[in-house]
């Protein structure tokens, strides 16, 4: 028996389908209850807009984590990475249920005139908004959104399918298929995610524009998906799975990526703010004024804004700076959990000041998050139980098991 066969035989490589399905049912019930409660808010004329904004925040939060996982998997094939092989199946699992994200977009699609009323509400538009109607109109908005979501669902499905087929057959042609699919897939991801950020978030205030917003959306997606992958791996390891497969070298490298994208997110966020502050154009500065505390405007969001500065950058940056932190299970779990929570706060901060003068968390925020995250987790857990937790016949698996940061 070879060294790799010995390691694979000693490791718990697959969650029992029955165990995964039981957890899936629990999360599925939570999701159904959450969606049902959120649906009640959509029925009332006075609560519809507040409920829709809650739903949009939860939708973008979950969608960016899911599509980020798919991107991570494609990126490893693009660059021929060997260290990440034991982590790649987790990322593939995150991208596999992207068909569900397409279905969860339906409530947003049928409520575009309400949610995006600044340009789709049927009223007379300001001159600056009227000039954008060739792009900001309901049919084109829906066509773009469906294009993004279908592209993600197809890519997520193919990456997962080819990888699982490789487990079953060991056919090297499947490796070549994944390699050939990666370059256009990464390009499609970059374009579609950037424009999704423009359409679903930035267009909520059509008088404001930032050419950096697409990159900002990408940075948030990547940091949250990396953290979700690392956290999932730590949870699996703590439950006795992947013994001798995942080691501190793998966590060290994904910790470095988490650190890098933490800095990248902060760099893009500050650059966007600094350029607008320096230019001091009223049409641009008003967006940031709404996200701060000004007595003359009645706004009170400075606490949330500063929490992003310290909890999304300063504390995670210094906490993850040392080699020890990246290789320590408790430290990585805390840092990853914090950054996932702060990704939700980030999306919440982008959307809510445009609809609420003061920072507040209402019941529909909780039900929408439980509903969308619950349904996504139900689908995700079924993927975790349907195939081995690592690509067991990947030609680079041996190299990954012997990987050392040096």
Question: What does the alpha-carbon distance between residue 177 and residue 390 come to, in Å, rounded to a whole number?
Answer: 18
- Position 404 scores a pLDDT of 82
Q: What is the pLDDT along the chain (406 residues), one digit of tens a residue?
A: 455 666 666 668 889 999 999 999 999 999 999 999 999 999 998 999 999 999 999 999 999 999 999 999 999 999 999 999 999 999 999 999 999 999 999 999 999 999 999 999 878 888 989 999 999 999 999 999 999 999 999 999 999 999 999 999 999 999 999 999 999 999 999 999 999 999 999 999 999 999 999 999 999 999 999 999 999 999 999 999 998 899 999 999 999 999 999 999 999 999 999 999 999 988 889 999 999 988 788 889 999 999 999 999 999 999 999 999 999 999 999 999 999 999 999 999 999 999 999 999 999 999 999 999 999 999 999 999 999 999 999 999 988 988 887 6
Specify if 326 maps to a domain. yes
- Position 7 scores a pLDDT of 66
Specify if 406 maps to a domain. no
Helix H, strand E, coil C: the string for 215-262 is HHHHHHHHHHHHHHHHHHHHHHHHCCCCCCCCCHHHHHHHHHHHHHHH
Tokens for 346, please give them.
């980030």
Specify if 10 maps to a domain. no
Cα 30 to its chain centre, rounded Å, is: 20
Question: What does the alpha-carbon distance between residue 59 and residue 99 come to, in Å, rounded to a whole number?
Answer: 13
Specify if 149 maps to a domain. yes
Specify if 12 maps to a domain. no
pTM: 0.97
Domain that holds residue 372: 21-401
Specify if 121 maps to a domain. yes
- Position 62 scores a pLDDT of 98
Total number of domains in the chain:
1
Specify if 178 maps to a domain. yes
Q: How many CA atoms lie within 13 A of 130 on its CB side?
A: 5
Question: What does the alpha-carbon distance between residue 60 and residue 62 come to, in Å, rounded to a whole number?
Answer: 6
């Amino acid at each position: 028996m070879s060294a790799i066969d010995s390691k694979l035989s000693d490791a718990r490589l697959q969650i029992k389908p029955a165990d995964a399905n039981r957890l899936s049912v629990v999360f599925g019930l939570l999701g159904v209850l959450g969606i049902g409660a959120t649906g009640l808010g959509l029925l009332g004329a006075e609560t519809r807009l507040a409920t829709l904004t809650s739903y949009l925040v939860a939708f973008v939060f979950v969608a960016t984590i899911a599509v980020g996982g798919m991107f991570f998997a494609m990126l490893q094939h693009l660059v021929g990475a060997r260290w990440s092989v034991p982590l790649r199946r987790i990322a593939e699992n995150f991208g596999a249920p992207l068909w569900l994200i397409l279905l969860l977009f339906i409530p947003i699609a049928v409520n575009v005139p309400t949610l995006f009323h600044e340009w789709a509400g049927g009223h007379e538009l300001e001159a600056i908004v009227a000039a954008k109607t060739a792009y900001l109109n309901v049919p084109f908005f829906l066509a773009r959104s469906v294009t993004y979501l279908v592209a993600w669902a197809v890519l997520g499905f193919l990456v997962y399918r080819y990888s699982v087929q490789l487990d079953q057959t060991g056919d090297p042609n499947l490796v070549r298929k994944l390699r050939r699919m990666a370059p256009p897939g990464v390009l499609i991801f970059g374009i579609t995610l950037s424009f999704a950020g423009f359409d679903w978030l930035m267009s909520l205030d059509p008088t404001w524009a930032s050419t950096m917003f697409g990159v900002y959306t990408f940075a948030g997606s990547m940091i949250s998906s990396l953290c979700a992958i690392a956290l999932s791996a730590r949870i699996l390891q703590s439950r006795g799975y992947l013994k001798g497969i995942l080691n501190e070298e793998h966590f060290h490298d994904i910790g470095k990526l988490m650190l890098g994208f933490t800095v990248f997110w902060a760099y893009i966020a500050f650059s966007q703010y600094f350029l607008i502050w320096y230019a001091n154009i009223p049409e641009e500065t008003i967006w940031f004024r709404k996200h701060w505390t000004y007595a003359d405007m009645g706004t009170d969001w400075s606490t949330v804004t500063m929490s992003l500065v310290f909890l999304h950058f300063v504390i995670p940056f210094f906490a993850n700076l040392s080699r020890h932190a990246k290789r320590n299970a408790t430290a990585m779990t805390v840092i990853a959990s914090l950054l996932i929570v702060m990704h939700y706060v980030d999306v919440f901060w982008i959307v809510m000041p445009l609809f609420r003068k003061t920072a507040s968390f209402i019941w529909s925020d909780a039900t929408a998050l439980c509903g969308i995250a619950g349904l996504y987790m139900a689908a995700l857990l079924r993927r975790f139980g349907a195939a081995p937790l690592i690509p067991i016949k990947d030609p680079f698996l041996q190299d990954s098991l012997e990987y050392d940061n040096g």
